[in-house]
């Protein structure tokens, strides 16, 4: 009987010991079993391949489950993130700031102060595209023209509104068509619209495709319009589309704005730290996704244009490697 009691006590102690360790093990396993969706943009754009590279690292290098999701881009991505339908989301800094402070596309809404940043990615260039025979040579020539302004409430469409405002115009001065830029470029090719706003990294594949069948023209953003943007919307900076990007003989002045990777505030510090570290330990995968990523995504630029607080997990990694103090 005594031997039986000793044996039962030993078993009970073993079970208690195992039980005390199980929450940590289960928690770690639960983290690894979570599904991380990366919200991007149209499959024809730059967001999609770069977001796909993030998802690739998250799943194949870090061991989480992940997928990349094609979306209507910035505004939709912000809402997906806030509604727990995505864990990572690529967005333009102007849309993020409007959401965070409650103006512009988010006017009248409660400021989205739960938005958190993972890192800055690369600059988007405002590319106002037309063809050589359209009769459009300056921004003012858009008056009365059929213009693709981006999908409704996309980052491109928000940019189009601000570009028009900066030049003393609005949608009442043009004939707007709410198309994503892949659709808009097709409509230029078919003669259905005259010009389109394409806000993306360089080079944009849809513009390059149009250039194989038409002589294209990129209308500059410069002068008083550019000065208005910098004064009223400081997330814009002056930039150039370098000669030769689209067989253009000279540099073209335009506005640019940073793209940001946002992350769900509710993800644990450990998970976000792992993701941030994993991205920079496998940066070649990100760089191979698109030339815009190869040229711009690095540790030195992770805070450039960041308009919301970093997630603590990202902050921990960047402090660890000396990027921020």
| Domain harbouring 109, CATH code | 3.40.190.10
pLDDT of residue 28: 52
pLDDT of residue 44: 81
Average pLDDT for residues 120-142, to the nearest whole number? 96
pLDDT tens-digit readout, 241-290 = 999 999 899 999 999 999 999 999 999 999 999 999 999 999 999 999 99
In terms of domains, do 50 and 165 share one?
no
- The strand pairing partners of 175, in sequence order, are 146
Residue 12 lies in a domain: no
d(CA 207, CA 190): 14
Angle at 43 between CA 40 and CA 46, to 5 degrees: 65
d(CA 169, CA 150): 17
Among 205, 229, 257, residue at a domain's last position: 257
Residue 130 lies in a domain: yes
Could you say which DSSP state residue 57 is in? I
Residue 197 lies in a domain: yes
Residue 106 lies in a domain: yes
Closest CA to 130 of 121, 141, 122: 141
Question: 61 vs 40, 118, 137, CA distance in Å?
Answer: 20, 18, 49
pLDDT tens-digit readout, 182-208 = 899 999 999 999 999 999 888 898 999
Residue 15 has pLDDT above 60, yes or no: no
pLDDT of residue 9: 43
Residue 237 has pLDDT above 70, yes or no: yes
pLDDT of residue 46: 87
Question: 106 vs 124, 180, 277, CA distance in Å?
Answer: 21, 20, 32
Average pLDDT for residues 79-108, to the nearest whole number? 93
pLDDT of residue 73: 85
Residue in the structure block whose two tokens are 């094609």 = 70
Residue in the structure block whose two tokens are 């250039």 = 211
Percentage of residues in the chain having pLDDT higher than 90: 76
In terms of domains, do 181 and 89 share one?
no
Average pLDDT for residues 12-21, to the nearest whole number? 41
d(CA 67, CA 209): 28
Q: Quickly list H helices, 190-268.
A: 205-211, 223-232
Q: What beta strand segments (E) does the chain contain?
A: 35-39, 65-69, 88-92, 116-131, 146-148, 175-177, 195-200, 216-219, 237-241, 252-263
In terms of domains, do 164 and 251 share one?
yes
Helix (H) or strand (E) holding 7: helix 2-33
Q: Give me the chain's average pLDDT, please.
A: 90
pLDDT of residue 155: 81
In terms of domains, do 54 and 115 share one?
yes
Closest CA to 280 of 259, 262, 297, 304: 297
In terms of domains, do 247 and 140 share one?
yes
Residue 1 lies in a domain: no
Residue 193 lies in a domain: yes
Residue 220 lies in a domain: yes
Residue 37 has pLDDT above 80, yes or no: yes
Three-state DSSP at 200 gives strand
pLDDT tens-digit readout, 149-180 = 998 878 889 899 999 999 999 999 999 999 98
d(CA 102, CA 227): 24
Residue 7 lies in a domain: no
In terms of domains, do 143 and 191 share one?
yes
Among 238, 257, 276, residue at a domain's last position: 257
- Count up the domains in the chain and report the number: 2
Burial 212-226 (b: 16+ CB within 10 A, else e): eebebbbbbbbeebb
Per-residue pLDDT band at 30 (split at 50, 70, 90): low
d(CA 9, CA 96): 59
Residue in the structure block whose two tokens are 């991205």 = 279
Q: Which domain holds residue 96?
A: 35-121+259-320
In terms of domains, do 197 and 147 share one?
yes
pLDDT of residue 2: 46
Among 257, 289, 306, residue at a domain's last position: 257
């Amino acid at each position: 009987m005594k031997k039986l009691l000793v044996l039962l006590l030993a078993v009970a102690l073993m079970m208690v010991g195992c039980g005390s360790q199980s929450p940590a093990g289960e928690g770690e396993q639960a983290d690894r079993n979570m599904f991380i969706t990366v919200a991007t943009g149209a499959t024809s754009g730059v967001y999609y391949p770069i977001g796909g590279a993030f998802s690739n690292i998250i799943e194949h290098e870090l061991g989480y489950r992940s997928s990349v999701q094609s979306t209507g881009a910035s505004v939709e991505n912000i809402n997906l993130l806030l509604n727990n339908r995505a864990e990572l989301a690529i967005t333009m800094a102007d849309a993020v700031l409007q959401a965070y402070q409650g103006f512009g596309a988010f006017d009248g809404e409660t400021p989205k102060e739960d938005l958190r940043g993972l890192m800055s990615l690369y600059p988007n260039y405002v590319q106002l595209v037309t063809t050589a025979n359209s009769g459009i040579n300056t921004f003012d020539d858009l008056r009365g023209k059929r213009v693709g302004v981006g999908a409704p409430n996309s980052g491109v469409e928000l940019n189009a509104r601000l570009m028009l405002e900066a030049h003393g115009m609005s949608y009442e001065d043009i004939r707007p068509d709410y198309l994503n830029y892949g659709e808009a470029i097709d409509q230029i090719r078919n003669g259905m619209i005259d010009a389109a706003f394409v806000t993306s990294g360089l080079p944009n594949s849809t513009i390059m495709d149009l250039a194989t069948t038409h002589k294209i023209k990129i209308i500059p953003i410069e002068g008083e319009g550019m000065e208005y943007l910098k004064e009223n919307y400081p997330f814009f900076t002056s930039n150039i589309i370098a000669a030769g990007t689209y067989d253009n003989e000279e540099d073209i002045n335009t506005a640019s704005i940073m793209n940001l990777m946002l992350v769900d505030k509710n993800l644990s510090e450990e998970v976000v730290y792992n993701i941030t570290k994993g991205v920079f330990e496998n940066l070649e995968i990100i760089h191979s996704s698109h030339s815009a990523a190869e040229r711009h995504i690095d540790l030195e630029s992770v805070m450039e244009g960041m308009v919301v607080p970093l997630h603590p997990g990202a902050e921990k990694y960047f402090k660890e490697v000396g990027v921020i103090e």
